[in-house]
Amino acid sequence: MRRHSVALLVDVRTVPASRRMPHFARAALERSLADEDIAYLHMPELGGLRKPRADSINLGWRNVSFRGYADYMQTDEFHQAIDRLIALTGGVDKQVAIMCAEAVPWRCHRSLIADALTVRGVEVRHITGPGLPALHSLTPFARVEGDRITYPPPDTLPL
């Protein structure tokens, strides 16, 4: 993270713990980050593990957990959390990184958070290894209206 000038790590895991990798548990992670002069913040309000609504408008997601998170993205709680995250990026001279349990963003709700940040004008880059970070691309089937994103099934997208 030093290579990418990260000053703040925002943890978007619902439960900031790991049995398989105890060095990623909250307390251990906070200590190791502090040793590197990197701040840590847990934001459970951006955490995953959301259940889809019975009347979900996000049927473009076949993955049930992504659909559940997309449904959560329609709530005021999510919008307040994203606004808080964006405010944090403005108050840091260096970069803010978000983390979850998945290593790759396309298998994690971080990709949906990245969509929400992107439509709000925040440049998002994914750090997936030692190379250069990859610029985030909006999910192809996302429908954007202002700062709201939905993921309808393909047959309802405009031509």
pTM score: 0.92
pLDDT at site 159 = 55
pLDDT at site 54 = 96
Tokens of 76: 């005021």
Length of the chain: 159
pLDDT at site 103 = 86
Task: Give 78-137 pLDDT, tens digit per residue.
Answer: 999 999 999 998 866 678 999 998 888 899 999 999 999 999 999 999 998 888 899 999
Query: How many Å apart are CA 114 and CA 136, to the nearest integer?
Result: 7
Q: What domains are defined for the chain?
A: 2-156 (3.90.190)
Mean pLDDT of the residues in the chain? 92
Percentage with pLDDT > 90 across the chain: 74
Least confident segment among 28-32, 56-60, 152-156 = 152-156
Query: How many Å apart are CA 105 and CA 124, to the nearest integer?
Result: 11
Percentage with pLDDT > 70 across the chain: 95
Question: Is residue 11 helix, strand or coil?
Answer: strand
